[in-house]
Amino acid sequence: MPGAGTLTRTISDAEGKQELPGKTVRSEGDPDTGDLATDESYVGLGDTFTFYKDVYDWSSLDNKGLPLDATVHYGQDYDNAFWDGSRMVFGDGDGEVFTRFTVSVGVIAHELTHGFTQFTSRLEYVGQSGALNESMSDVFGAMVEQYAKKQTAAEASWLVGEGLFLPAVQGRALRSMLEPGTAYDDDVLGKDPQPADMAGYVETTEDNGGVHINSGIPNRVFAVAAQALGGSSWERAGRVWFDTLTSGTLSPTVDFAGFSSATLATASSLFGTESDVHRAIASAWSTVGVDPMDAADRKT
């Protein structure tokens, strides 16, 4: 195991098969290969590691310098990227709707943050805790992208997966954190189904209780709070989210109200109950119709 703070990346090529890990094609310190997926994934892993280390003094995903491994060219026309519990896996897209999934630093950081959540808060992947799990990946994915691009909260697009859709698709991205439900409206894909507040919350048994759909609600909270506070999203709003996730006190089954209560407690501890940070976060939760006093899970 490398020492804490040491970035160690290994990129493998599945060569169109669905077998892991594949053939090693680039290791830490190696020059560009000329293969876009290989080199983009290498950069994205590095951007994510650098963000967690430089901003929060957190070493890799587990705070112990976990090596970051990835496999590219997974399967044929594979429309996804995922964290499998130990490595990143990237498909090349189908060439009709999606391009290769390494094109977005935000998507790379999103999937890696599932690993961060795995090692910290362990949010259960079902219902509201599952939607929070997805939202944490969008939140930190967005911050990694903004950090890499040196963007303020005001300058950022707050779009998740921008650049993944090919030109034929009527859409900007997979999701909009600032305006859930507006990312795409396409004849083939349909309309972005994410609700922007609890009035539109989707009760469903599909997708582990709607973890991808309902994640738009806490996504909007973070984006609204970060924009209200101004400056860089990771400095204040991001600090509250990070400290809440790494506190060791958050229940894996926490609901939206419980998480809102936890973020407000963190904001109060870090910045004070009368601070602009506490007010901005409280206002953002109110905007989406979440009341921390309604928390069903009081283990937070």
pLDDT of 295 reads 59
pLDDT of 5 reads 73
Res. 297: pLDDT tops 50: no
Average pLDDT value for the chain: 95
Res. 3: pLDDT tops 60: no
265 three-state secondary structure: helix
Q: Once rounded to an integer, what is the mean pLDDT over residues 156-175?
A: 97
274 is catalytic: no
pLDDT of 293 reads 79
* 181-191 pLDDT, tens digit each: 999 999 999 99
Q: Cα–Cα–Cα angle for 254, 65, 107, nearest 5°?
A: 60
Res. 299: pLDDT tops 80: no
Residue 35 has which token pair?
Answer: 């293969």
- Please answer whether residues 65 and 42 qualify as being in contact, where contact means their C-beta atoms are separated by less than 8 angstroms: no
Among the listed residues 40, 111, 145, 162, the single catalytic one is 111
| C-alpha dist (Å) from residue 114 to 67, 122, 123, 297 | 15, 9, 10, 22
* 222-242 pLDDT, tens digit each: 999 999 999 999 999 999 999
In order of start, what are the domains of the chain with their CATH numbers? 9-103 (3.10.170.10), 127-294 (1.10.390.10)
Res. 10: pLDDT tops 80: yes
User: Could you give the CA distance from residue 295 to residue 272 in angstroms, rounded to a whole number?
Assistant: 22
Sequence-distant (6+) residues with CB within 8 A of 299 are: 249, 251, 253, 254, 258
pLDDT of 4 reads 65
111 is catalytic: yes
Among the listed residues 73, 110, 114, 212, the single catalytic one is 212
User: Could you give the CA distance from residue 291 to residue 258 in angstroms, rounded to a whole number?
Assistant: 9
pLDDT of 300 reads 38
pLDDT of 148 reads 97
Angle between helices 216-229 and 127-149 (to 10 degrees): 40
DSSP string for residues in 175-210: EESSSTT-SBEETTTEE----SSGGG----SSHHHH
pLDDT of 1 reads 41
- Tokens 């950069």 sit on residue: 43
